[in-house]
Amino acid sequence: MYLRKLKKSKVIIQAAVLGIVLGAGGCGIVDKHVEWETVEPDSYPVLKAVGYAPISSQQGDNDSVKLIMAMKASKLDAYRELTEQVYGQKIEGSQSVSGLVVDSENLRSSVEGIIRGAEVVKAYPVGEDTYVTELSLDMQQVYNIYLSTAKPRRVKDVKYY
């Protein structure tokens, strides 16, 4: 019996505290209307990238398969270069010294990102053993793709009531 009264009074006290907090927190609140506008850059660059791949080094049963594989590899290399331009490159390095002499030195590079809106400008063989792909990325098209998903904006006007 005593435990029921204690639990009941505890619930009443919690409800009272919650009511006081909510009531006091509501004092002084002003309603407002915020008007937003989209933000657009002044100019848009066009990025270009070139990817290369050796044809004879590709895996394949015949020259046609090796050529197709080189086409794909050169396109991926061009996309990697575009990704470096847009997102940058992560560089990790380490060096160990033993007896005041450099023992080993390691350098590692990686790039990661998503490229949307790139166009193949040209794809062609150079000489007898290299395939080249040229890509172009119009940042205005990237911005338009971005707008369709993110809708960036800034405060245009605020009216308080």
pLDDT of residue 40: 75
pLDDT of residue 107: 92
Residue 75 counted as domain residue? yes
Residue 101 counted as domain residue? no
Q: DSSP secondary structure string, 74-129? A: HHHHHHHHHHHHHH--EEEEEEEEETTEEEEEEEEEE------S-EEEEEEEETTT
Written as one letter, the residue type at 130 is T
pLDDT of residue 7: 56
CATH of residue 142's domain is 3.30.110
Q: Is there a single domain that holds both residue 69 and residue 120?
A: yes
Q: Is there a single domain that holds both residue 151 and residue 117?
A: yes
Q: Is there a single domain that holds both residue 70 and residue 13?
A: no
pLDDT of residue 106: 93
Q: Is there a single domain that holds both residue 7 and residue 64?
A: no
Global confidence as pTM: 0.65
Q: Is there a single domain that holds both residue 60 and residue 7?
A: no
Q: Is there a single domain that holds both residue 128 and residue 54?
A: yes
Instruction: Yes or no: say if 50 and 132 are a contact pair by the CB < 8 Å rule.
Output: yes
| CA-closest candidate to residue 135, choices 84, 100, 98 | 84
Q: Is there a single domain that holds both residue 76 and residue 142?
A: yes
The span from the CA of 43 to the CA of 2, in Å, is: 75
The alpha carbon of residue 31 and the mean position of all alpha carbons in its chain are separated, in whole angstroms, by 36
Q: Is there a single domain that holds both residue 77 and residue 121?
A: yes
pLDDT tens sequence for the chain (161 residues):
555 554 556 666 666 666 665 565 555 566 778 887 777 778 999 999 999 999 999 999 999 999 999 999 999 999 999 999 999 999 999 999 988 888 899 999 999 999 989 999 999 999 999 999 999 999 998 888 887 777 767 777 788 77
pLDDT of residue 35: 80
pLDDT of residue 155: 78
Written as one letter, the residue type at 52 is Y
Number of domains in the chain: 2
Residue 38 counted as domain residue? no
Q: Is there a single domain that holds both residue 72 and residue 146?
A: yes
Instruction: Yes or no: say if 136 and 121 are a contact pair by the CB < 8 Å rule.
Output: yes
Residue 100 counted as domain residue? no
Domain that holds residue 126: 46-87+113-158
Q: Is there a single domain that holds both residue 78 and residue 135?
A: yes
Q: Is there a single domain that holds both residue 22 and residue 81?
A: no
Q: Is there a single domain that holds both residue 80 and residue 16?
A: no
